[in-house]
Structure 1
């Protein structure tokens, strides 16, 4: 390799270093290797094909722009797939930028990973920083950290799926392992049932028990499904004994699972259990800005503040509100403004009452179900008491400005995750349970309005 080639590449690196985040530069740019300059083509080595696919999608435009500025548009770039030791191993055939062939194994199809879910576009804040740090540690050394299994829980729409898939995408891109499988718990169960029907349980075991990294989403789906739990128990044991990494997600902590194999809960405790909380205001603003950057638009400050103040709990709702606003503005030919945001999103905004307190709700719920109010705070697990308690927690989360932690404390020092579980459970049941829906409406009518 000539010095001219290395000098040119060093100038490219210097030019783009300030254009992308430091962590992204370290992860995706530093591993590149300048190979040679042949006529007007600069050859650059990449570790593997998946790495190239990600680079081509996210950073190639930045690299090409820098190279064009440095060479006045006279030099083109080509990529080569190289091994760990390029001196001893011949590079694979040249891969021209934006012309990657897809005859090889489709990594995304095989692993079921979504390439959009990366650490680079995961917005970090106090609510998720520990979960992200442990997930990254697992991605850098699958099966070699104390975090095995890694269990991440939190309410719907807070980024659990994004985070666990980012583990797989990072591991794949950085040659940690390519034997990865992401799957929802529902798909795991459906695959198992199909394998039984077709007498192909051996094939099922071969698929799930020979991976190096298993990413299983929404494991709470296994509740009450004994045969599926048993199969996953054996799958877990097989993978763990082989040194494979297991990553699980759920909408609640393991201790709140109902009708769940205690041996599985015990094994989950072998590793690390961590949670993701709803993002704070600053993180919500950062999420909006990140999404706006992806869409190539600028959000006026007052519009960003309005969205971040209005959609506090669910990231999907927050991003959905932004996309809805952008779509309307584009179709109607209107600039983004606070007035437009309030008009477009008026049917999606629910302003909770600031004067309804937790004690009032507890008393109204206890009276409605004809039970002593102190039972809502006690450790009573009778079905009728548990139901009333969950309804009360749901109403507190829905009608007050109290944090989930505060609500949990007022229900006998319970964890905030218990409140999340109650809220999610009642919300889900409301869709198909007319009796429960009637109860909730009746209770809301009895609770004083502000």
Structure 2
């Protein structure tokens, strides 16, 4: 191994170790250092050629864990000891018999290089062996698995309309014969707050009511990822798979967040196949259609399409009106026709926002003991609008930046390196990191499929240059004001 590379890597490790405890108290430092050393002890530098650093890691889990927990710190270290523009690559060692190891090279994300096939291990069939339930405290057996279903999210409380009628009909059919229809998996997709989660819960509740012995489990994809990472760290991936093999109806919300999680995707793939082959029902929700989910294995996308994909759109006027009537009637409240029309016209984005406004109106009327009138509705909604905190997400940041510089969104997401486009793009990446919880990888995906190292470089550049360049400093200041107001 190149002695110069080893020295550089040792300096990088020491830099990361020195900066590890920046936000932690002294009592946690030893624990952090031990975890850091255990992880990076198995990571070795392989080569450094033309600013391309390749690291050898034992498995995809190590690569994923580094990216999720140490990427920012590692980036700073590489920039310090190698220079700006360094690109990070990994070599993942396949699990093969001793003496037959063959490394395969995988770029971090976003590069146009073939993705190698990851060695697969099919989960063992569940037997009488002890299993681990990731939703209980370790060591405490739990025979009756909590389905995590919300009782209010039933079919009785689900209002049908043109925007969701097809998906609702399919869901009811599945609830009568889970795993025995052609709709397996059921893939529900649509925007924020349109009722995907409610409908998936409704299926689960109906199955539990009609088939008490069936195991129904609802969870978010974030929870699934967390449980997998915990199982992998404890070397209990088999127990993790065994637990999910017991489920009769598996409902996973926001499946798009599996994007970029290659090791978790491998586990999900085998669990999916086992459940599907054994006649178990799978229901998935997403904010986008299967083909639009980036950085997810093709074999998984193809399985999403095995059953039925149904889009749920934002409710139309008639559906919004029905929702208002249904919600208020359950609270013993009735409104005049003009008041119903006003409310239905006022909130068009999502069911969730609509119900939020209805609850606010009811609360206002109750607190001030005022009769509900059209004037009161207008006054209440006006106050809600004036106090509502603006949600700053990546699409909103892109919109503000494009408007500020007078460019189109497709230009912002393009590959052109012209300064009049590249600078706004870098600023959008910088603000995305400043105002959202998105990872560098996620920001890169939303910015037209850019590599995570490109995003890191953009954020660092804007941060550094804005301190000395008056023009960039002005852009940052003015855009900050526009984003906050």
TM-score by length of 2: 0.53
SS in 1 for 2:334: coil
Structure 1 unmatched ranges of 5 or more: 1-104, 351-361, 392-420, 423-431, 446-450
Partners of 1:164 and 1:134 in 2: how far apart? 11
Query: Which residue of structure 2 lines up, in the alignment, with residue 248 of structure 1?
Result: 284
Partners of 1:106 and 1:166 in 2: how far apart? 23
In the alignment, is the contact (CA less than 8 A) between 1:220 and 1:251 conserved in 2? Answer: yes
Query: Which residue of structure 2 lines up, in the alignment, with residue 347 of structure 1?
Result: 383
Partners of 2:311 and 2:200 in 1: how far apart? 12
Q: Which of 129, 143, 150 is equivalent to 1:114?
A: 150
Query: Which residue of structure 1 lines up, in the alignment, with residue 24 of structure 2?
Result: none
Query: Which residue of structure 2 lines up, in the alignment, with residue 376 of structure 1?
Result: 410
Partners of 2:367 and 2:292 in 1: how far apart? 46
Query: Which residue of structure 2 lines up, in the alignment, with residue 143 of structure 1?
Result: 179
Partners of 2:477 and 2:225 in 1: how far apart? 30
Runs of 4+ in 1 over 4 A off after TM superposition: 362-371, 377-385, 432-445
In the alignment, is the contact (CA less than 8 A) between 2:241 and 2:267 conserved in 1? Answer: no
Shift of 1:284: 0.5
Q: Which of 135, 150, 161 is equivalent to 2:197?
A: 161
In the alignment, is the contact (CA less than 8 A) between 1:171 and 1:177 conserved in 2? Answer: no
| Aligned positions of 1:313-332 closer than 5 A | 313-332=349-368
1:67-117 deviation digits (Å, cap 9, x = unpaired): xxxxxxxxxxxxxxxxxxxxxxxxxxxxxxxxxxxxxx997x611111111
Partners of 1:382 and 1:254 in 2: how far apart? 28
1:189-221 deviation digits (Å, cap 9, x = unpaired): 111122223333333212212211111111011
Question: Cα 1:168–1:106, aligned 2, differ >3 Å: closer, same or farther?
Answer: farther
Partners of 1:382 and 1:176 in 2: how far apart? 58
Query: Which residue of structure 2 lines up, in the alignment, with residue 400 of structure 1?
Result: none
Partners of 1:178 and 1:437 in 2: how far apart? 57
Q: Which of 265, 280, 283 is equivalent to 1:229?
A: 265
SS in 1 for 2:154: coil
Shift of 1:159: 0.6
Query: Which residue of structure 1 lines up, in the alignment, with residue 274 of structure 2?
Result: 238
Partners of 1:243 and 1:136 in 2: how far apart? 18
Shift of 1:377: 9.2
Partners of 1:124 and 1:265 in 2: how far apart? 28
In the alignment, is the contact (CA less than 8 A) between 2:221 and 2:255 conserved in 1? Answer: yes
SS in 2 for 1:187: helix
TM-score by length of 1: 0.57
Shift of 1:299: 2.2
RMSD: 3.6
Query: Which residue of structure 2 lines up, in the alignment, with residue 130 of structure 1?
Result: 166
SS in 1 for 2:146: helix
In the alignment, is the contact (CA less than 8 A) between 1:142 and 1:176 conserved in 2? Answer: no
Total equivalences in the alignment: 286
SS in 2 for 1:279: coil
2:342 pairs with 1:306 = yes
Shift of 1:176: 7.6
Query: Which residue of structure 2 lines up, in the alignment, with residue 184 of structure 1?
Result: 220
